[in-house]
């Protein structure tokens, strides 16, 4: 996708170009909460994501300047991910989104359960 296809007249749409999708907000939240995280730790915290998808999402976030990837020249390879300075500016937004989700959790679960053909598992 070309840059001009990702830029919209609406600032919300343009912002969502960087952070939308199934996995990016979850990855950003984990990095916001924990600071610097190794790939394997992210995989454990997001067990539903495949390694290939996690790699792609991290590459996209890095290309968009939201995540910093640090490679240490050791064997086996040691790679760490963290929010970049630009990515850290999302902190207040992520915190507000988490607060909203907490405040409205039961209602959200009811809505999702009503839309789901199979029972939803409850977060623990």
pLDDT number for residue 11: 87
Full residue range of the structural domain in which residue 97 is found = 22-115
pLDDT tens for 87-112 read 999 999 999 999 999 999 999 999 99
pLDDT number for residue 116: 80
Residue 37 forms part of a structural domain: yes
Residue 40 forms part of a structural domain: yes
Would you say 96 and 76 are in contact if contact means Cβ atoms under 8 Å apart?
Answer: no
Residue 83 forms part of a structural domain: yes
The phi, psi pair for 35, rounded to 5°, reads 80, -115
pLDDT number for residue 70: 96
Distances (CA, A) of 73 to 35, 58, 78, 80, 104: 21, 20, 7, 12, 45
Number of domains in the chain: 1
Residue 12 forms part of a structural domain: no
Residue 16 forms part of a structural domain: no
Contacts 24+ apart (CB under 8 A), 49-57: 49/23, 53/23, 54/23, 54/27, 57/21, 57/23, 57/24, 57/27
Chain centroid, CA 71 distance in Å: 20
Residue 107 forms part of a structural domain: yes
Write out the chain's pLDDT in tens, 124 residues: 555 676 778 889 889 989 999 999 999 999 999 999 999 999 999 999 999 999 999 999 999 999 999 999 999 889 999 999 999 999 999 999 999 999 999 999 999 999 887 765 655 4
Q: Find the helix packing angle between 24-34 and 11-19, rounded to 10°.
A: 80
pLDDT number for residue 124: 47
Contacts of 77 (CB under 8 A, 6+ apart): 71
pLDDT number for residue 102: 95
Residue 15 forms part of a structural domain: no
pLDDT number for residue 55: 97
pLDDT number for residue 58: 98
Q: What is the CATH number of the domain that holds 90?
A: 1.10.10.10
Residue 4 forms part of a structural domain: no
């Amino acid at each position: 996708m070309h840059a001009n296809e990702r830029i919209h007249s609406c600032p919300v749409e343009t912002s969502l170009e960087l952070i939308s999708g199934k996995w990016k907000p979850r990855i950003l939240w984990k990095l916001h909460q924990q600071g610097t995280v190794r790939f394997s730790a992210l995989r454990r915290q997001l067990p539903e994501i495949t390694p290939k998808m996690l790699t792609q999402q991290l590459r996209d976030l890095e290309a968009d300047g939201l995540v910093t990837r640090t490679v240490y020249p050791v064997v086996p390879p040691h790679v760490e991910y963290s929010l970049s300075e630009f990515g850290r500016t999302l902190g207040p937004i992520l915190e507000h989104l988490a607060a909203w989700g907490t405040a409205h959790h039961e209602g959200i679960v009811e809505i999702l359960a009503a839309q789901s053909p199979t029972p939803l598992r409850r977060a623990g």
